[in-house]
């Protein structure tokens, strides 16, 4: 099997990927907390991991991809303070918490489906794994790594640090955590032995809607224990890949590691992959700045930051133009450029069906292009370099179509396979976004036929007007000796 190198956040270097039980691969990616619609940051994250999932499948691995849906326990300050995010939204909308979950889980999958993000193999929810979480917490208490306090249970970071390295993923030290915690007075802090301990189980007040019975009283699980328990349930105590957003490396992923390795005494995930964040015109995307863009707004254009609506495939292409570990900066200009580039790429490969093969090839380097594409993807899933190589292929296709060279039958076969393998299967870009529907395609052909009749009558002014108006709509027509052809290039 082809060698694959990936950047491991845990070791801070690129490493050869060697799964535990090839050809099987276990991959867990932290999914969304479903209390609102998916936004551009979600799109960046899940398109990035979809790319990784698709390439692993392309290489021949049998991947069990687990991506959770968080439906309880994620508090508003992302640690142990504040209100449950879903509970807060349920109060605002005056509905049951699980109505919030069902609604926004539906809109999340709706938007991800439009972006052609593959569904995971398993999508577990914490509310369906309460017994497993209680069992894991009980085991941590019995091993001396957790303690009960006033109906809540906390992980004892100091006890864990005696024999383990807490902070090995994020690079934080215990001293840094102590000084950082001293500056923050959080809810429940007085219950903890140390300010940097974190909740495994939170006591629920009597009016709390989402709560379960436990050995420590009625409550709900902490955000961190959920992912540890669900990932190990479906992938084993040690598995291959854990992914998520860079902003979750600390504290979420650090806490996952501590819980898992304290519980089973074995390494948790072997390779940690983190995608970087989205910025909006150079600023961090956040609710407080009012610069967030939801996926459905991108597709409809209904946001003050957007100049127009953008197709899901244009948005996907925009994301894939940058490396998954790079920051993605959104702007209208960047999206417009991505839309144009995407349509040019797709239109170029469509031209392969209109090129007659020759006995000779004018482009001897074609045979090297598939290997260059594989090398890009096998170097930490570098979609940006892959796309550059695909445009090399597009340039060759356009040159041959314009009569500036010839392609052999073998050349055309190689290029077609590149389109299928890398554009469709790996990048996940769909040809449905060529810009015209089946009905519009018929209308274009009708206009071209009318133009040919007008030209036959030597009404060149009207003929040119039809051509120019089509061009304004992004439809470029070309008169050839065998008839007129057209491409969509907006």
Q: What is the pLDDT along the chain (490 residues), one digit of tens a residue?
A: 899 999 999 999 999 999 999 999 999 999 999 999 999 999 999 999 999 999 999 999 999 999 999 999 898 877 677 889 999 999 999 999 999 999 999 999 999 999 999 999 999 999 999 999 999 999 999 999 999 999 999 999 999 999 999 999 999 888 777 665 544 554 456 789 999 999 999 999 888 889 999 999 999 999 999 999 999 999 999 999 999 999 999 999 999 999 999 999 999 999 999 999 999 888 887 766 777 899 999 999 999 889 999 999 999 999 999 999 999 999 999 999 999 999 999 999 999 999 999 999 999 999 999 999 999 999 999 999 999 999 999 999 999 998 999 999 999 999 999 999 999 999 999 875 444 444 556 787 788 888 888 888 888 888 888 888 888 777 878 777 656 777 665 4
How confident is the model at residue 53, as a pLDDT? 98
For tokens 């690129």, the residue is: 14
Residues 466, 320 share a domain: no
Residues 335, 230 share a domain: no
Structural domain count of the chain = 3
CATH number at residue 360: 1.10.730
Residues 246, 362 share a domain: no
Domain final residue, candidates 243, 275, 307: 275
How confident is the model at residue 1, as a pLDDT? 86
Find out whether 383 and 345 touch, Cβ atoms under 8 Å. no
Which CA distances in Å does 427 have to 102, 316, 353, 419?
29, 9, 21, 10
How confident is the model at residue 435, as a pLDDT? 45
The structure tokens listed for 9 are: 């956040």
From 432, 233, 398, 395, select the one nearest 316 (Cα to Cα): 432
Residues 285, 221 share a domain: no
Residues 112, 45 share a domain: yes
Structural domain harbouring 466: 438-488
Residue 373 has a CB neighbour count (10 Å cut-off) of 23
How confident is the model at residue 451, as a pLDDT? 87
Find out whether 355 and 412 touch, Cβ atoms under 8 Å. yes
3-state secondary structure of 325: coil
Residues 386, 256 share a domain: no
From 340, 332, 248, select the one nearest 293 (Cα to Cα): 332
Question: Per DSSP, what are the bridge partners of residue 40?
Answer: none
From 132, 14, 1, 135, select the one nearest 59 (Cα to Cα): 1
Residues 203, 114 share a domain: yes
DSSP structure string for 338-374: HHHHHHHHHHHHHGGGG---BSS-S-GGGGGHHHHHH
How confident is the model at residue 316, as a pLDDT? 98
Domain final residue, candidates 434, 453, 478: 434
Residues 6+ apart with CB under 8 A from 299: 111, 114, 309, 310, 311, 312, 315
Residues 254, 296 share a domain: no
Residues 252, 350 share a domain: no
Which CA distances in Å does 391 have to 173, 307, 400?
46, 27, 14
Residues 399, 299 share a domain: yes
Q: How far apart are CA 103 and CA 300, in angstroms?
A: 20
Environment class of residue 32 by beta-carbon count within 10 Å: exposed (0-12), middle (13-18) or buried (19+)? Answer: buried
Q: How far apart are CA 105 and CA 110, in angstroms?
A: 9
CATH number at residue 233: 3.40.50.620
Residues 347, 241 share a domain: no
Domain final residue, candidates 434, 458, 477: 434
Residues 77, 44 share a domain: yes
Is the alpha carbon torsion for 437, 399, 414, 359 positive or negative? positive
How confident is the model at residue 460, as a pLDDT? 85
């Amino acid at each position: 099997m082809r060698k694959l190198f990936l950047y491991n956040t845990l070791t801070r270097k690129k490493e050869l990927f060697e799964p535990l039980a090839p050809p099987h691969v276990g991959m867990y990616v932290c999914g969304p907390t479903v209390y609102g619609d998916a936004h551009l940051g979600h799109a960046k994250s899940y398109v990035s991991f979809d790319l990784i999932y698709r390439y692993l499948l392309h290489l021949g691995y049998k991947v069990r991809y687990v991506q959770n849906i968080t439906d309880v326990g994620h508090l508003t300050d992302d640690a142990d303070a504040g209100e449950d995010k879903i509970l807060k939204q349920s109060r605002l909308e005056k509905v049951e918490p699980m109505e919030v979950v069902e609604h926004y889980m539906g809109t999340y999958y709706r938007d991800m489906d439009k972006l052609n993000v593959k569904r995971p193999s398993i999508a577990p929810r914490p509310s369906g794994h309460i017994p497993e979480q209680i069992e894991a917490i009980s085991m941590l208490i019995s091993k001396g790594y957790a303690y009960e306090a006033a109906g809540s249970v906390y992980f004892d970071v100091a006890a864990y640090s005696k024999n383990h390295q807490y902070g090995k993923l994020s690079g934080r030290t215990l001293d840094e955590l102590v000084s950082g915690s001293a500056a923050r007075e959080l809810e429940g802090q007085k219950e903890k032995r140390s300010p940097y301990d974190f909740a495994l189980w939170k006591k629920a007040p009597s009016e709390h809607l989402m709560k379960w019975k436990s050995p420590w009283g009625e409550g709900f699980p902490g955000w961190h224990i959920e992912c540890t328990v669900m990932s190990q349930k479906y992938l084993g105590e040690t598995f291959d890949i854990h992914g998520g957003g860079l902003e979750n490396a600390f504290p979420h992923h650090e806490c996952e590691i501590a819980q898992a390795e304290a519980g089973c005494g074995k390494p948790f995930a072997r390779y940690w992959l983190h995608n970087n964040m989205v910025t909006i015109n150079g600023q961090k995307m956040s609710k407080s700045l009012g610069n967030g863009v939801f996926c459905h707004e991108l597709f409809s254009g209904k946001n003050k930051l957007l100049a127009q609506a953008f197709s899901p495939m244009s948005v996907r292409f925009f994301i894939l133009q940058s490396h998954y570990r790079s920051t993605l900066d959104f702007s209208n200009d960047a999206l417009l450029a991505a839309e144009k580039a995407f349509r040019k790429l797709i239109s170029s490969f469509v031209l392969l069906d209109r090129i007659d093969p020759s006995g000779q090839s004018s482009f001897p380097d074609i045979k090297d292009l598939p290997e260059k594409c594989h090398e890009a993807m096998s170097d930490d899933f570098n979609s940006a370099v892959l796309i550059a190589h695909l445009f090399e292929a597009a340039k060759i296709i356009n040159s041959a179509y314009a009569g500036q060279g010839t392609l052999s039958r073998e050349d055309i076969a190689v290029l077609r396979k590149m389109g299928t393998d890398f554009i469709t299967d790996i990048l996940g870009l769909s040809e449905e976004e060529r810009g015209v529907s089946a009905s519009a395609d018929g209308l274009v052909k009708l206009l071209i036929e009318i133009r040919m009749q007008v030209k036959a009558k030597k009404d060149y002014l009207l003929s040119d007007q039809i051509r120019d108006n089509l061009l304004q709509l992004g439809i470029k027509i070309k008169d050839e000796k065998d008839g007129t052809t057209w491409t969509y290039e907006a």
